[in-house]
Amino acid sequence: MSKSDEFRILGRRPGNDESIRFEYKGVTFDQDSFHVVAGLNAVDTREYVERTFIALQQAGQRCARMGAYKPRTSPYSFQGYGRQCLPYVFELAGKHDIRVISMEVTHDEHLDEIRQALHATGDPTGVMLQIGTRNTQNFELLKTVGSQRDFPILLKRGFGITLHESLLAAEYVASGGNRDIVFCLRGMKTNFGDPHRNLVDFGHVPTVKRLTRMPVCVDPSHSVGVRDASPDGLPDIFHVAAQGVVAGANMVLTDMHPEPRRALVDAAQAITLEELPWFLEDMAIAREAYLVRREVAARHAAQ
Ligand code: PEP
Ligand code: MN
């Protein structure tokens, strides 16, 4: 297979250079759009879910993250409330005008459970199916999400495989028929990233946008993993998120919790609801810087 054949659908090349673009529940995703997707790593209480949605609504946000199915490293760790929590998550999302919820799925049954719960609650919101880093090469799951058209897909980069292999995973999804895919960088597993949880790989934002037509997301929470701040007062999570956005990221997926210490999963990496307006302001500055950088690049190219 020649190199240009490998990314037959998603690859960017002459004659196939239009950004993947899709509108879902009134929200547009492409290589020019920009969205922050903050929320609970793992759904816990109804009260925390509602407080999270209220904070997002007050900040003018239309997207959220909500984990119901949690793939955990240990079998003894909390595995997520699964389908049990879906009705109140969807109902409360609709109540607070949240249109798109990024939710990880690990099994084809989860799609049916999500479909049923959305239907039962009157389709108050939408779901973007998140494929986690541990499932980037779960080819049967990739085929399952790729062969349905109801939901768009957020595909995480595999944390221990090459970028090329992760992009082929995206191509697996697309080859099933669904091209509504956002590709998400989330850091690579290696001790060389210490004291961060993973080695930040956001230098690949422009690389993915050049090699493929997919919008690119960054997940600063799983990359950094801790709430530590540098002497300038900015948490490392803010810094690396801004680095991704300044490089052209189209989405930022961020863990947020009303009381991070009480979060059932990844408590160390959630920002608070009070920090949300600050985080959004910081991201807007980074986004503006990216747009100006693009203008400068165009001016120099025209000379
Ligand atoms: C998550 O976003 O909830 C998650 C588990 O991320 P990752 O698959 O990147 O570890
Ligand atoms: Mn996690």
**Nearest bound ligand to the CA of residue 160:** 1
Task: Classify residue 19: in a domain, yes or no.
Answer: no
Task: Classify residue 17: in a domain, yes or no.
Answer: no
Asked if the peptide bond before residue 206 counts as cis, ω within 30 degrees of 0, the response is: no
| 87-117 pLDDT, tens digit each | 999 999 999 999 999 999 999 999 999 999 9
Percent above pLDDT 90 for the chain: 98
Residue 128 has pLDDT above 90, yes or no: yes
**Nearest bound ligand to the CA of residue 69:** 1
The ligand 1 atom at the shortest distance from the C-alpha of residue 135 is: 8
Residues 156-164 have a mean pLDDT of 98
Confidence band, pLDDT 50/70/90 cuts, at residue 5? confident
Q: Tell me which residue has its CA closest to atom 3 in ligand 1.
A: 41
Residues 142-149 have a mean pLDDT of 98
Residue 69 has pLDDT above 80, yes or no: yes
The alpha carbon of 41 and the centre of ligand 2 are apart by a number of angstroms equal to: 7
How many Cα neighbours within 13 Å face the side chain of 56?
Answer: 34
Task: Classify residue 272: in a domain, yes or no.
Answer: yes
| 16-46 pLDDT, tens digit each | 999 999 999 999 999 999 999 999 999 999 9
Residue 290 has pLDDT above 80, yes or no: yes
Task: Classify residue 66: in a domain, yes or no.
Answer: yes
| Mutation choice for ligand 1 from 133, 161, 237, CB with most ligand atoms inside 8 A | 133
Cα 30 from Cα 35, distance rounded (Å): 10
Task: Classify residue 4: in a domain, yes or no.
Answer: no
Q: Tell me which residue has its CA closest to atom 10 in ligand 1.
A: 133
Confidence band, pLDDT 50/70/90 cuts, at residue 119? very high
* Ligand 1 interacting residues, C-beta cut-off 6 A: 41, 67, 104, 132-134, 156, 186, 219, 222
The alpha carbon of 66 and the centre of ligand 2 are apart by a number of angstroms equal to: 12
Confidence band, pLDDT 50/70/90 cuts, at residue 2? low
Task: Classify residue 3: in a domain, yes or no.
Answer: no
The alpha carbon of 108 and the centre of ligand 1 are apart by a number of angstroms equal to: 18
Q: Work out how many domains the chain is built from and give that number.
A: 1
| 198-217 pLDDT, tens digit each | 999 999 999 999 999 999 99
Task: Classify residue 268: in a domain, yes or no.
Answer: yes
77: domain CATH number is 3.20.20.70
Q: Tell me which residue has its CA closest to atom 8 in ligand 1.
A: 132
Its domain, for residue 184, covers 30-302
Task: Classify residue 58: in a domain, yes or no.
Answer: yes
